[in-house]
Amino acid sequence: MEFCKFKSEFIATTIIDRALLPNQFEVAVTFSVNVVDPMQQNVAFQRMKHLIEGELNLAVILCRTNPMYKTLGKLQNKLVVLPDDGPDWALACALLLKLNAVCEDRFIVNLVELSSTLGDRVTYYADFERKEMLEEVLADLPKADHWWKTPYLQFNGFQKCASWADLDLDWKLTKDKKDATIGQIVKFNPKVVPGGLN
């Protein structure tokens, strides 16, 4: 398959210095399907969708050096840790790498487009061809905080998170439960229906 595009949005709180700022993000993910099995395709897509709409939605996004970092780590909100205060570019880079990690080669995420209200709706493009540059942008964090390299639902080095198996989005599901469906797979069967003018 060539390229597919998934568009979504989420709301998160961005923390810059000591200010809590509500922020609305729009994201578009361009990816190619790298597996034939429709069950694995469904799991990969649902993982991608859950990461954006379930985990990033209502999260708190902040820089690791922010003075509120340790205090906010005690909250139950998902805490997304980035290397600097300008979250859009760093988040686009991290999201591209994280989506590739959670899809585990079933989908290849080629491009992430991200814009936000606080960022004046400027769209940032992070593409897989410049992976080394993206990793340089994110290199300022300690290795324990490189959440974008793991396939787990984790955005920092200390908060506990659910597993994909807890969400029924484990690859094992596709092997063990052939009758299980994540999403409905519908075969298109067109029929010509008589009609029109007499």
Domain boundaries, given as residue ranges, for the chain: 4-176
Residue 128: what pLDDT? Answer: 80
CA gap 159, 118 in Å, rounded: 26
Q: Are the C-beta atoms of residues 66 and 83 closer than 8 Å to each other?
A: no
Residue 179: what pLDDT? Answer: 46
Per-block average pLDDT, block size 10, for the chain (198 residues)? Answer: 87 90 96 92 94 91 84 80 81 91 93 95 89 75 72 73 84 58 55 69
Residue 183: what pLDDT? Answer: 47
Residue 142: what pLDDT? Answer: 65
Residue 162: what pLDDT? Answer: 79
Residue 144: what pLDDT? Answer: 62
4-176 topology per CATH: Tetrahydropterin Synthase; Chain A (3.30.479)
Residues whose CB is less than 8 angstroms from the CB of residue 66 and which lie 6 or more positions away in sequence, other chains included: 15, 17, 85
Residue 45: what pLDDT? Answer: 95
Residue 186: what pLDDT? Answer: 53
